Chains A and B, each alone.
Chain A
Amino acid sequence: MTLLRTLTAKPWIWSFLGALLVWLATIAFTGGYGGGGMVTAALSLAVFTVIVGVGQMFVITLGPGNVDLSLPANIGLASAVAMKVMGGSDSMIVVGLLAAIACGAAIGAVNYLLIWALRIPPIIATLSASFIIQSIDISYGRGLQIKPPPGFASFTNWQILGIPVLAILTVLFTIGAAIALQRMIYGRSVLAIGQNIRAAWLAGVNVGRIRFLTYTLSGALGGIDGALLAGYFRGANVDIGNEYLLASIAVVVIGGTSVAGGKANVPGVWGAALFLVLLLTMLNTFGVSAGVRLLLTGLIIVGVITVAGGEKALR
């Protein structure tokens, strides 16, 4: 009983429960067929949402108004950069990955530079930046579908006993993120800034540096996500990151992170990402049309934020 009570007191439990329910509903529909394969597929896909979701979570935790809208463009550009640098050769995989991370981190740093130098809200800064990144990507990756090296493609699809290796690595990464959030000066500072930026400054937190690091981190995670996506889907393209704008914000909100800032939740990002991926699988299994799928996704996000709301706004 007490275990149940401590579990229900955790805000992230709901997203996992939701994921479980959706999974059960789907295998009930298929008569138990393909339940395991569905979990494998969901884990593989959720990884990409989790990686950018964690970056977005740190940004949103910085407090009202902080959000990174440049992630889709960032992912698109980084996927092209990674594939071009790798050039289809297995020996260049590490260099390509590093190039994608550097590209993403640079975008994040520029984002913060705009916020700081022009004193504009992060929404408009990351938005303007994303316009420019998009164009760079279109002209840089022009026309050609760049293939990943075979070794990289098989790495991103590698499974052990039906569990994607990438998912295992991402779990390790999220554990690291959770520790950084609660036990490191960086995480504590992010939480302090999100609760009250002025009080954080007056308590000696280096607000400028922490915000800079957070936007850069979000950018770098977008960069690595782009490279991995290009490997998994066997090719970079401009639109590869499009769905991650809403997805990254949605997993943060559904996962129990406060949009008012100052309260973050790492496990919830996993639960929410699995929930969203499984939800899509379920709707596909039920054979609903694209319109209904979008409609339901939107309504669920509005519904979750309405239930979870009641705190001060993101702006």
Chain B
Amino acid sequence: MLEANTNIIRLNGAEKHFGAVRALNGVDFHVVSGECVGLVGHNGAGKSTLMHMVAGTLRPDGGEIAVRGNAETEYSVARALKLGIRCVFQELSLCPNLSIAENTRINHPALTGFGWRRKAAALIAAKLDEIFPDHGISADDVAGDLSIGRRQMVEVARAFTVTRDPLDLVILDEPTSSLDAHTAGQLLAFVRRFVASGGSCILISHVLGEVLQNADRIVVMRDGKVVAADAATAFDRDRLVATMGGAEAREKIATEFAAARPAGSPVRVRARPARQEDGKELVARAGEIIGLAGLAGHGQTDLLLAIFAAATRRKPGIEVTAPVALVAGDRQSDGIFPQWSISENIGIRSLSQLRKGLLISPQREAALAEFWKQKIGIRTPDMANNIFSLSGGNQQKALFARALGSDAEIVLMDDPMRGVDIGTKLEVYELVREEAAKGRTFLWYTTETEELDNCDHIHVFKNGRIVAHLGRDELTEEKIIQSSFGDAA
């Protein structure tokens, strides 16, 4: 009986598959009332999938969900909301065409009848005042007109507003990703007050310091499983990093890594971010691997896209001297052609080389695909199969094959290892270093610090600008976090 009262939610043996990808592999997870649970793990470890289950937006393929000790067979978003469980999703869920007050109304079925607009406006304004005292947002502002940071503030504040339904558990998935250090601090202080007053929170963050300082208990996930769960005081940064995995990879890279390349090779890319005010710029020479680091969404992708666009049309501030190819990180929206076979997906970047006369030669296309199947190890019986017959990691390999099989001398990588298993990663790292040794230039944006070990130089980004330039030997996670956050580590 005691457990039934204190456990807000409990999942037993939760499982979820997406096609060939096993996102969750029998996970046990629970949250007690009045605690803040920190959830950490690399991209693709299954954190988001697990949280979608807690919020009711995804149904598990196997396992049980119980809320306050009662088994829930028909668990859904509506049910979760009724039971006082809410989620602030990583991707923004405001309606850009509606005002802040109207967006608040969407989450509160009880806000109806005469005067609902005034009530909604008062509700959200009071919560914004409480969490972010100097927010400067009006309830009449249209969501689409706000900056991304302010939208995130609204979204967090909205999750903590209460009308008819209770509020017991709030899931915060990377809530500080678009906030500056000051507002991030305000939010985390509020989370601690909320937990102290008896509420519960799940805090997901890439900034391990945030989790270590604010969580009562930390759950570590890896490859769709929970690999450690303990009181926060039992962890320090090194233990967290070690448990999350990737340490072996790091050692392997460190031992294999060759000496720095000669500085005299020709300049391939010279680029300054549009918002850069000082003289800092990114210079990449033939054979170099340049890392773009910093928190997610701080202008790294924008710079890569600007360089990509500058290869075909002249742009001020960016100089590109060789053909460019891009490896997308968000496979579904930026990379994959869902109707096509694996070979067609690889061949699209090289169509003019695959031609015989006016027509594309099927033999040459197949030969290109077969070459990269062997070289990069794409695991499939037939390259003529649809691209979706591959697992996520192998789809990503096909995208690498598309770029590396082309005539591009410069390869841009937009955080391409999201949600990819460690084995694939090691294979691709090796290939990238091999290609760089042959003279190709790589610009590599990554959110995973240990990948930066592959790079010759690292540029750290903050608010659309380059704020620091690190050589390979100066690289530590602390240094990057320090630069990413300015003075607040």
With CB as the reference atom, state the residue of chain B lying closest to A204: B349
Residue contact A188 to B359, C-beta cutoff 8 Å: no
Complex Cα gap A199–B359 (Å): 23
Q: A192-B337, A195-B340, A204-B325 are in contact. Are A183 and B359 (CB under 8 A)?
A: yes
> A198 contacts the other chain (Cβ, under 8 Å)?
yes
> A100 contacts the other chain (Cβ, under 8 Å)?
no
Contacts of A199 in B (CB 8 A): 328, 333-337
With CB as the reference atom, state the residue of chain B lying closest to A185: B351
Chain A nearest CB: distance from B487 CB in Å? 36
Complex Cα gap A31–B99 (Å): 68
Chain A nearest CB: distance from B323 CB in Å? 9
Please encode chain B, from 330 to 366, with 1 for each CB lying within 8 Å of some chain A CB and 0 for all others. Answer: 0001111111100010001101100100111000000
Contacts of A113 in B (CB 8 A): none
Contacts of A202 in B (CB 8 A): 308, 326, 328, 334-335
Range of interface residues on chain B? 20 to 34
Residue contact A184 to B359, C-beta cutoff 8 Å: yes
Task: List A residues 184-204 near B (Cβ within 8 Å).
Answer: 184-185, 188-189, 191-192, 195-196, 198-200, 202-204
Contacts of A183 in B (CB 8 A): 359-360
Q: Which of B328, B335, B348 has the most CB of A within 10 A?
A: B348
Complex Cα gap A204–B358 (Å): 19
Complex Cα gap A86–B443 (Å): 60
Task: List A residues 241-273 near B (Cβ within 8 Å).
Answer: 262-263
Chain A nearest CB: distance from B316 CB in Å? 20
Residue contact B360 to A184, C-beta cutoff 8 Å: yes
Q: Which of B334, B339, B340, B360 contacts A185 (CB 8 A)?
A: B360
Complex Cα gap A201–B289 (Å): 24
Q: Which of B312, B358, B359, B402 contacts A203 (CB 8 A)?
A: B402
- Interface residues of A, count at CB 8 A: 20
> A205 contacts the other chain (Cβ, under 8 Å)?
yes
Chain B nearest CB: distance from A10 CB in Å? 15
Chain A nearest CB: distance from B312 CB in Å? 8
Q: A199-B333, A202-B326 are in contact. Are A191 and B359 (CB under 8 A)?
A: no
Complex Cα gap A263–B338 (Å): 10
Q: Which of A195, A196, A263 has the most CB of B within 10 A?
A: A196
Residue contact B337 to A262, C-beta cutoff 8 Å: yes
Residue contact B333 to A195, C-beta cutoff 8 Å: no
Contacts of B335 in A (CB 8 A): 199, 202-203
Contacts of B325 in A (CB 8 A): 204
> B406 contacts the other chain (Cβ, under 8 Å)?
yes
Chain B nearest CB: distance from A198 CB in Å? 6
Chain A nearest CB: distance from B403 CB in Å? 9
Contacts of A189 in B (CB 8 A): 351
Residue contact B338 to A196, C-beta cutoff 8 Å: yes
With CB as the reference atom, state the residue of chain B lying closest to A263: B339
Q: Which of B308, B312, B351 contacts A188 (CB 8 A)?
A: B351
> A179 contacts the other chain (Cβ, under 8 Å)?
yes
Q: Which of B308, B336, B349, B358 contacts A196 (CB 8 A)?
A: B336
Complex Cα gap A200–B338 (Å): 12
Complex Cα gap A189–B334 (Å): 15
Chain B nearest CB: distance from A33 CB in Å? 45
Task: List A residues 72-105 near B (Cβ within 8 Å).
Answer: none
Chain B nearest CB: distance from A199 CB in Å? 5
Residue contact B360 to A188, C-beta cutoff 8 Å: yes
Please encode chain A, from 190 to 230, with 1 for each CB lying within 8 Å of some chain B CB and 0 for all others. Answer: 01100110111011111000000000000000000000000
Residue contact A192 to B348, C-beta cutoff 8 Å: yes
Task: List A residues 121-158 near B (Cβ within 8 Å).
Answer: none
Contacts of A206 in B (CB 8 A): 312
Complex Cα gap A199–B402 (Å): 12
Chain B nearest CB: distance from A189 CB in Å? 8
Complex Cα gap A202–B337 (Å): 12
Complex Cα gap A191–B348 (Å): 10
Residue contact B358 to A184, C-beta cutoff 8 Å: yes
Chain A nearest CB: distance from B332 CB in Å? 8
Chosen A-B contacts, 17 in total, with CB atoms closer than 8 Å, are A184-B358, A185-B351, A185-B360, A188-B348, A191-B337, A191-B339, A192-B348, A199-B334, A199-B335, A202-B334, A204-B325, A204-B406, A205-B348, A206-B312, A262-B337, A262-B339, A263-B339
Q: Which residues of B contact A (CB under 8 A)?
A: 308, 312, 325-326, 328, 333-340, 344, 348-349, 351-352, 355, 358-360, 402, 406
Complex A-B, nearest 3 residue pairs according to Cβ-Cβ distance, in ascending order: A183-B359, A195-B337, A185-B351
